[in-house]
């Protein structure tokens, strides 16, 4: 198996030879690691589906290997480098599909069944708000229309509702961003989960209750242990609330003995 660390990058090239030539003088390589589990994941997409027919489709030039505009460089040569590049290419395609999937399916659909009971975002809570975060263009998007009983004053949405929407949507955004940063499709093992450590909200203007709300969240800092997420809530194209959430990463399954 091709298990060694390699680097991979896609170039604006029309073929493997051109990609190799561009790569020779380019030092801006994005790291990608290949381990047995990742190889198995890559193999989930068949070579035939990708339109790769023979090892002759792989171009080799000065230690660089390319298929179309995807180029791979390795410190050691491999007897099975042709197959390795095919697996790498398949993995890239799967990664793209995973990012696209988060744009059409909410990240909350990939939360483990046993903990998807949160009042705000749990799909298994029949009485909850069912907050849904869609990952689009490096930000989390969510739309919600308040119910008539979610009111503070006549015509104005309850501030606690706004906090709930921002909280769960920010956590969903952190999870989606981390899956993408780790080069994994949502829901793949090990699962990713965050909890809220700090939530700060500025209520800028009253939020109307009879209008669709738009929440847009972005991760401004991502480390191994935490994510910093900013979120803005809009109604009628006016920003009504702005927040910053500190999300702490936790291991799955959750240890609830401390509760």
User: E strands within the chain?
Assistant: 6-10, 30-32, 59-61, 64-67, 70-74, 134-136, 139-144, 151-153, 156-157, 193-203, 213-222, 226-235, 238-250
Q: Give the pLDDT of the chain (259 residues) as one tens digit per residue.
A: 333 444 555 555 556 667 666 666 665 544 443 333 444 344 334 444 444 444 456 666 666 666 666 666 655 444 455 555 555 555 555 555 555 556 678 999 999 999 999 999 999 999 999 999 998 888 999 999 999 999 999 999 999 999 999 999 999 999 999 988 887 878 888 899 999 999 999 999 999 999 999 999 999 999 999 999 999 999 999 999 999 999 999 998 887 765 5
How far apart are the C-alpha atoms of 210 and 97, rounded to whole Å?
36
Name the pTM for this structure: 0.65
Which of 228, 173, 233 shows the shortest CA–CA distance to 199?
Answer: 228
Whether the CB-CB separation of 162 and 196 falls below 8 Å is answered with no
- Angle made by CA atoms 119, 124, 130, in degrees to the nearest 5: 50
Determine the 3-state secondary structure of 156 from DSSP. Answer: strand
Task: Give the model's pLDDT for residue 11.
Answer: 57
Token couple for 105 = 């399916």
Listed as own residue / partner, the contacts of 38-46 with beta carbons closer than 8 Å and 24 or more positions apart are 38/91, 39/1, 39/2, 39/3, 39/87, 41/91, 41/94, 41/188, 42/87, 42/88, 42/90, 42/91, 42/94, 43/87, 43/90, 44/90, 44/94, 45/90, 45/93, 45/94
> How far is Cα 198 from Cα 245, in angstroms, rounded to an integer?
6
Provide the CATH number for the domain formed by 105-250 in this structure.
3.10.129.10
What confidence score (pLDDT) does residue 33 get? Answer: 39
Q: How far apart are CA 245 and CA 229, in angstroms?
A: 5
- How far apart are alpha carbons 18 and 16 in whole angstroms? 5
| Domain residue extents for the chain | 6-103, 105-250
Helix (H, G, I), strand (E, B) or coil at 224: coil
In whole angstroms, how large is the CA radius of gyration of the chain? 22
């Amino acid at each position: 198996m091709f298990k060694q660390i390699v680097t991979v990058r896609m170039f604006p090239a029309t073929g493997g030879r051109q990609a190799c030539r561009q790569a020779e003088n380019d030092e801006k390589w994005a790291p990608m690691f290949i381990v047995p589990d990742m190889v198995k994941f890559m193999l989930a997409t068949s070579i035939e589906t990708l339109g790769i027919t023979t090892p002759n489709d792989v171009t080799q030039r000065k230690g660089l290997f390319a298929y179309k505009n995807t180029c791979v460089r390795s410190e050691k040569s491999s007897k099975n480098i042709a197959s390795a590049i095919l697996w790498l290419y398949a993995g890239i395609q799967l990664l793209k599909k995973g990012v696209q999937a988060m744009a059409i399916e909410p990240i909350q659909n990939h939360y483990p069944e046993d903990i998807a009971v949160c009042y705000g975002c749990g799909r298994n809570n029949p009485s909850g708000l069912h907050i849904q975060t869609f990952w689009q263009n490096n930000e989390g998007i969510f739309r919600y229309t308040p119910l008539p009983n979610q009111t503070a004053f006549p015509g104005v949405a309850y501030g606690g509702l706004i906090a709930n929407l921002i909280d769960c949507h920010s956590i969903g955004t952190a999870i989606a961003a981390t899956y993408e940063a780790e080069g994994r499709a949502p829901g793949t093992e090990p699962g990713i989960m965050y909890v809220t450590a700090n939530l700060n909200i500025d209520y800028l203007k009253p939020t109307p209750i009879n209008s669709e709300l738009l929440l847009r969240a972005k991760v401004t800092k991502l480390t191994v242990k935490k994510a910093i997420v900013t979120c803005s809530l809009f109604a009628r194209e006016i920003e009504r609330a702005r927040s910053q959430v500190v999300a702490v990463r936790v291991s799955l399954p959750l240890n609830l003995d401390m509760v």
